[in-house]
């Protein structure tokens, strides 16, 4: 791709530089060689078949801001590693770049949050988790911490009041200490908690629980602890048993761990492109004809799309709503930008996405290695997906 540097030799990639360009181009596909991971087993069952109905989508044109682009141009300029479009369960396009292949696990970053929240939805459907319950009722160790009084739903919706500075370019931000705890960066002489569970207790509140939406990844990590207690298993086993195996994954996935084996729930999952597409397929099919792949409870999907009664107001109050259409909200670790259209997506920094357009049963998965955590091509990708949905609904492409 023009302007995209090649991924470097392995000898150049270190724990200190793996998130930076151009080293991330190699590291996001080889995370297990840098950080401890736990296997998310696909089990011994058959993989869900994805029939092929391939079309060339590269020439679809769309407008993004003042620019007119094609899908092919969007892929070329957005540091794409993998791109998959599914329509009614069939592969319309599947493309790999930057040395990635169908069996390569790629870091999902915060798309991991949507995977973890799906565990919550399944446990809730089984009657093993009550989203309205205080988190400390399930994990008593949270009593006396900043999370006391927060509900499970507050964690799912990023509306707990715990302060957590996630400014990626600030070396003094909370996220930098958190990355050392989770073994994502080299340790230093500066004191830190021994593991993630001890780290949670060091955080303080800067607002009420149930207040405005503020994006704080640490809330999903606490949610992971809650799910382990509610589900009676470690998080990677819950993902395997409740999602990866029932959905018919083709390959094992993995999740990074801290020094005491606590999974990074908010961003540590690595998975292949097709399995990420299979994960997205769990949502358009729910509420329609039931099949062996119906995994996520229909009420959970409906709740995600509808959101809380004050969800849009909380979204706007946190400042994020100004960047999205009216009525947009964040629910159950999904960005619901167009609830009336049942269009929602999972997003991770450096360009990881799963888009779901439920009415047309279109799922788009994109894995990338942007040179920075946040990048202007984010909105361009979303605009491209809207154009793809329109083309497939109209029988074009």
Decide the pairing of beta strands 67-70 and 352-357.
Answer: unpaired
In this prediction, residue 288 has a pLDDT band, given cuts at 50, 70 and 90, of very low
Residue 171: predicted pLDDT: 78
Q: What percent of the chain has pLDDT over 70?
A: 94
Average pLDDT of the segment spanning 159-181: 90
In this prediction, residue 375 has a pLDDT band, given cuts at 50, 70 and 90, of confident
- Helices 111-125 and 218-231 cross at an angle (nearest 10°) of 30
| Beta carbons of 19 and 30 less than 8 angstroms apart | no
Q: How far apart are CA 305 and CA 358, in angstroms?
A: 10
In this prediction, residue 397 has a pLDDT band, given cuts at 50, 70 and 90, of very low
SS3 of 85, please?
Answer: strand
pLDDT at 25 over 70: yes
Q: How far apart are CA 185 and CA 8, in angstroms?
A: 19
Among 351, 344, 341, 397, smallest CA distance to 374 is for: 351
Q: According to DSSP H, which parts of 139-215 are helical? A: 152-156, 174-181, 196-200
In this prediction, residue 3 has a pLDDT band, given cuts at 50, 70 and 90, of very low
Average pLDDT of the segment spanning 242-271: 98
Residue 9: predicted pLDDT: 60
Average pLDDT of the segment spanning 23-33: 97
The catalytic residue among 64, 78, 110, 217 is 110
pLDDT at 320 over 80: no
Report CA Rg, the chain.
20
pLDDT (tens digit per residue) in 88-138 = 999 999 999 999 999 999 999 999 999 999 999 999 999 999 999 999 999
Computed over every residue of the chain, the mean pLDDT equals 93
Average pLDDT of the segment spanning 272-289: 82
pLDDT at 250 over 70: yes
pLDDT at 146 over 60: yes
pLDDT at 154 over 70: yes
As beta bridge partners, residue 96 has 82
Q: How far apart are CA 381 and CA 377, in angstroms?
A: 6
| Beta carbons of 222 and 138 less than 8 angstroms apart | no
Q: How far apart are CA 182 and CA 177, in angstroms?
A: 9
Q: Which residue has the higher pLDDT, 324 or 376?
A: 324
pLDDT at 10 over 80: no
In this prediction, residue 194 has a pLDDT band, given cuts at 50, 70 and 90, of very high
Asked if 110 is an active-site residue, the reply is yes
In this prediction, residue 292 has a pLDDT band, given cuts at 50, 70 and 90, of low
In this prediction, residue 285 has a pLDDT band, given cuts at 50, 70 and 90, of low
Give the list of residues 6+ apart from residue 114 with CB closer than 8 angstroms, or none: 332, 333, 334, 346, 354
Residue 237: predicted pLDDT: 98
pLDDT (tens digit per residue) in 35-84 = 999 999 999 999 999 999 999 999 999 999 899 999 999 999 999 999 99
Q: How far apart are CA 353 and CA 308, in angstroms?
A: 23
- pTM to 2 decimals? 0.95
Q: How far apart are CA 112 and CA 263, in angstroms?
A: 11
Q: Which residue has the higher pLDDT, 3 or 261?
A: 261
pLDDT at 5 over 70: no
């Amino acid at each position: 791709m023009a302007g995209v540097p090649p991924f470097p030799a392995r000898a150049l990639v270190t724990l200190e530089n793996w998130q930076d360009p151009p080293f991330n181009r190699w590291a996001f596909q080889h995370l297990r060689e840098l950080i401890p991971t736990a296997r998310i087993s696909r089990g011994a069952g058959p993989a869900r078949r994805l029939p092929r109905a391939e079309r060339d989508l590269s020439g679809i044109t769309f407008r993004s801001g003042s620019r007119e682009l094609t899908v092919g141009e969007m892929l070329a300029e957005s540091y794409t590693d993998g791109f998959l479009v599914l329509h009614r369960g069939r592969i319309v396009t599947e493309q790999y770049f930057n040395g990635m292949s169908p069996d390569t696990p790629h870091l999902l970053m915060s798309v991991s949050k949507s995977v973890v929240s799906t565990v919550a939805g399944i446990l809730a459907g089984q009657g093993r988790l009550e989203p309205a319950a205080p988190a400390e009722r399930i994990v008593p160790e949270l009593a006396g911490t900043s999370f006391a009084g927060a509900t499970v739903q507050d964690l799912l919706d990023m509306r707990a009041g715990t302060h957590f500075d996630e400014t990626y370019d600030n070396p003094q931000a909370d996220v930098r200490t958190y990355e050392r705890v989770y073994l994502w960066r080299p340790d230093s002489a500066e004191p830190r908690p021994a593991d993630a569970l001890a780290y949670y207790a060091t955080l303080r509140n800067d607002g009420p629980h149930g207040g405005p939406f503020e994006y704080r990844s640490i809330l999903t990590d606490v949610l992971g602890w809650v799910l382990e207690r509610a589900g009676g298993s470690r998080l990677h086993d819950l993902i395997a048993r409740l999602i990866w195996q029932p959905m018919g994954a083709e390959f094992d996935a993995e999740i990074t761990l801290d020094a005491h084996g606590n999974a990074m729930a908010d961003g540590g999952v690595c998975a292949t492109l097709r399995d990420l597409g299979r994960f997205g397929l769990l949502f358009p099919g729910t509420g329609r004809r039931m099949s062996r792949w119906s995994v996520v409870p229909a009420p959970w999907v409906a709740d995600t799309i509808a959101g809380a009664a004050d969800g849009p107001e909380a979204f706007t109050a946190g400042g994020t709503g100004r960047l999205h259409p009216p009525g947009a909200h964040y629910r159950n670790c999904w960005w619901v930008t167009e609830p009336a259209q049942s269009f929602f997506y999972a997003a991770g920094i450096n360009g990881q996405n799963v888009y779901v357009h439920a009415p047309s049963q279109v799922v788009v998965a994109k894995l990338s290695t942007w040179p920075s955590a946040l990048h202007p091509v984010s909105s361009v990708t979303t605009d491209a997906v809207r154009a793809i949905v329109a083309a497939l609904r109209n029988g074009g492409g």
